[in-house]
Chains A and B, each alone.
Chain A
Amino acid sequence: MFSRVPFRRLITPLLVAGALAMVHIPDVRAARVSGRITGVVHLVALAGMPLRSGAYPSRRVNPKTPDAAEIENVVVFVKDAPTEQQVAPARASISQRDESFVPRVIAIPRGSSVEFPNFDPYFHNVFSLSRALTFDLGRFRKGDKRERVFPRAGVVKVYCHIHSEMAATIMVFDHRLYATPATSGSFVIEAVPPGTYQLSAWHERIGETTTPIKVVGGEEARVEFSLPVVEK
């Protein structure tokens, strides 16, 4: 029943997996007693300036839905997290609505697919010039959508070549150790193997703010980020 070719196809990944399993034995073991990182991200005004409401006013045209909080455009991630061989792909969606990408920033694991539905009564386009993934999904009308799989980790900036003000950032990770803060600014990264890491909070204009963090198995490591608001 076993032909030669299926067997060889099967045996190679098994061997590789085995070797990797040998290497990651401590991780595997630590995973069982992993800790978690909890924290909060604050957006603060520079030099004691009071933070205006809507510090980043919307660039959306004729918005019909309320703006997402700016805090949701922050991504917190473990910068030196080990690459995971198996990352469960996810499905995400970035809408094209009111001449904007909504949400403007998402974080996804490697291999995930993102769909881009068009809700505007005019054509949109999605393209990227990023090194992680360069693509152009072409133009499509309202009601249509395009979908794209992001197979490599990295920052992928997507734009619409019809509307030059539209831009979105897709952060593709090859691990799970990332989170997007809630409206309150709080975030949780679960199942972090114990160890010392560099934890980064990234914002499209502020860039990365990195802080070291020590995670002990079964415990909760807390961190607090204060990101200075850059006035436009």
Chain B
Amino acid sequence: MSHRTPPRFVIRTLVATLATVAFVLSAVLLVVTINAQTSVRAGVVERLETGQRLLAELEKRRAQELRAQVTTLAENSTLKAAVDTYHTELRTTNAAGRQDLLATVARELDKLAARIQPDVLEVRSASGEVLAIAGRRAGEWPAFARVNAPRQDNDAMFVTTPSGIFRLASVPVVLQGTPLGTLSLASALDERYATEISELSGAPTLILSDNRVVASTLPSESLLGLKPEVVQAMAAQDPRFVTLAGSEYAVRRLLDLPAPAPALMGHPSGAQVYVLDSIDASARPFIAKALRTMGWIALGAFTLAALASIWLSRTIARPIDTLSASLSSMTETKNFENPLTPGGDVLEVDALTITFNTMIQSVKAAEEERLSAYLGTIRALALALDARDPYTAGHSERVSALSLAIGRCLWLDDAQLEVLRLGALLHDIGKIGISDQVLMKPGPLSGEEYEIIKQHPVVGARILRSVPFLEPHIPIVELHHERPDGKGYPHGLRGTEIPLVASIVHVADAFDAITSARAYRPARAASEGLRELWRCAGTQFDAEVVHALAKALPDIDRFTTAADSGLRPFAVPVAVRALRA
């Protein structure tokens, strides 16, 4: 099973919060971009439409101005004189004379044209015959240009030619109430006009005539994208949006001059004037600004999120770390007595601490219950063992009490005394496997029988080994028949090889055996027993222990009495202390 070290909590919170912030910011950026595109699109369209309305008004005014200009020109006295003279004299002249008359009219028209520099200035007779044309673009002026009869309204009139569009104003030349002819002033819708419209509308202008670009203020790369099919589509369908060189343009038509019907030879198919504006180019600064703002917001958001997640992870991780450290030290020291103190920082961690405390309490209670059940069983076994032989009844209890008394005289600590008490109680548990015949044989034992008896410390130790918490008592059970001179059993240990507690129980066991009645002899007095022990001290018994017994003897009677009076119940704390030891 591969075990991977999980990442720290702070890393998780950082990743989670930063990912969330990044996602939210991306979503916001997306929405902002889409909104910007939409609003810019609407804005561009609005601007173009405003320009459209504005320019419609402006067109009206230009037409008025043109009309005013041509009206003033038509009042020129010498032009009138020339036209009137032409009419008066035409009746009485020949072809050469007519040329002279036309030259007179042309001369006067040229004088006017020289002053105002018009694109085209034309005068016709009352019958519609062209008398003279002047102006910078007179050469382009088509012979077929049908100049409508002057109208009273201010609507602009236009003449479309293959080379462009001309705005036209015509007024009658009147002398003394008689119309002599028509004076027309035409102004070309050329590059200059396109530039003017662009400056007013703030958007590029495109002028088409006969499906060709006549004038434009579009950037050259967009102009290259203006393929013939695009131009045709624009002229035919008046689309609201077109794509030029990969960028989208909003388009509004300012002027549409349809082809005249029937079509005349060489007459253009129609002419249009458009304003158009790139949506992408207009959106770019908005989006750039939004991106800059979003960048700052992102920086702030990431910083705040990082700080917040670090703080948050700390508020959670620190109590957990503290709790974990407390648990580790608790496990290490095996000190489960003191309950953990809730940190008071995080409710959940506190709840966990309290639950843990409760759990420890329950575990402790269960463990104590289990121990007491074990001990109860074992004591019952020991008592049952003692009860097999009426002579040994109460023996284990007495040895235990005796051992404690000796142990106290030897200044053993509480833990050792506990080991001693329980170990003494169980010291003969191995005799459980010895048959009654051998154990309660009234006469002397045979060699074989004695060998069986000698097995009981080993058997007892084996029994105790199966119960982990009785392990501290094993030396007592196994070695309580060892002698300092090495003649004991089962291992024949010597002197200091034998643990003190085992020697104490050995002495106490021997003393109780001597001072208890047997089937084959009566009970002897304590002083006699002590004398017997002194006699064998140093060889069979540890002299120091015997000395301690002697010191403790003033209490022996009491102990004996106490031992006779019955079993003292084991206190639970004692068992727990035994467990810890």
Contact surface of A with B, Cβ cutoff 8 Å: 57, 59, 127-131, 154-155, 157, 159-167, 169, 204-205, 207-208, 232
Contacts and interface: CB of A to CB of B under 8 A. Distances in A.
- Most A CB contacts (10 A, CB to CB) among B78, B100, B176 go to B176
A225 B579 CA distance: 161
A129 B91 contact: no
Contact of A161 (B78, B85, B88, B101): B78
Given A129-B82, A159-B80, A160-B77, A165 B91 contact: no
B76 A205 contact: no
A129 B177 contact: no
Interface string B171-196: 00001111000000000000000000
Contacts of B177: 57, 59, 232
Nearest to A164: B77
Contacts of B161: none
B485 interface: no
Contacts of B78: 127, 129, 159, 161
Contacts of B84: 157, 159, 167
A5 B291 CA distance: 109
Given A129-B81, A130-B85, A167-B81, 17 more contacts: A129-B78, A129-B108, A130-B88, A130-B89, A131-B89, A131-B101, A157-B88, A159-B81, A160-B77, A161-B77, A161-B78, A161-B81, A163-B77, A165-B175, A166-B77, A169-B88, A208-B91
Contacts of B76: 164
A4 B93 CA distance: 44
Q: Which 9 A-B pairs have the closest CB atoms?
A: A164-B77, A159-B81, A161-B77, A232-B177, A129-B85, A164-B75, A157-B85, A59-B176, A129-B81
Given A127-B81, A157-B81, A157-B85, A167 B91 contact: no
B112 to A, nearest CB: 13
A164 B178 contact: no
Interface in B77-126: 77-78, 80-82, 84-85, 88-89, 91-93, 97, 100-101, 104, 108
Interface bin, chain B: 20 to 34
Nearest to A57: B177
A207 B92 CA distance: 11
B176 A167 contact: yes
A157 B87 CA distance: 11
A23 B302 CA distance: 125
Given A131-B97, A205-B178, A164 B80 contact: yes
A167 B175 contact: yes
B325 to A, nearest CB: 114
A204 B84 CA distance: 10
Contacts of A232: 177-178
Contacts of A157: 81, 84-85, 88
27 contacts: A57-B177, A59-B176, A59-B177, A127-B81, A128-B81, A128-B85, A129-B78, A129-B85, A131-B93, A131-B97, A131-B100, A131-B101, A155-B88, A159-B80, A159-B81, A161-B78, A161-B81, A162-B77, A163-B77, A164-B75, A164-B77, A165-B175, A165-B176, A167-B81, A167-B84, A167-B176, A207-B91
Contacts of A129: 78, 81-82, 85, 104, 108
Contacts of B91: 207-208
Contacts of A164: 75-77, 80, 175
Contacts of A154: 89, 92
Nearest to A159: B81
A112 B77 CA distance: 26
A171 to B, nearest CB: 10
A161 B82 CA distance: 11
A39 B285 CA distance: 91
Nearest to B108: A129
Interface in B53-84: 75-78, 80-82, 84
- Most B CB contacts (10 A, CB to CB) among A128, A155, A167, A207 go to A167
Contacts of B89: 130-131, 154-155
Contact of A159 (B77, B93, B100): B77
A131 B96 CA distance: 12
Contacts of B178: 205, 232
A128 B77 CA distance: 11
A69 to B, nearest CB: 16
Nearest to B86: A129
A161 B76 CA distance: 8
Nearest to B77: A164
Interface string B151-180: 000000000000000000000000111100
A165 B180 CA distance: 12
A166 B82 CA distance: 13
A176 to B, nearest CB: 19
A96 B88 CA distance: 21
A218 B177 CA distance: 44
A217 to B, nearest CB: 30
A167 B502 CA distance: 163
Contacts of B175: 164-165, 167
Contacts of B176: 59, 165, 167
A101 B89 CA distance: 20
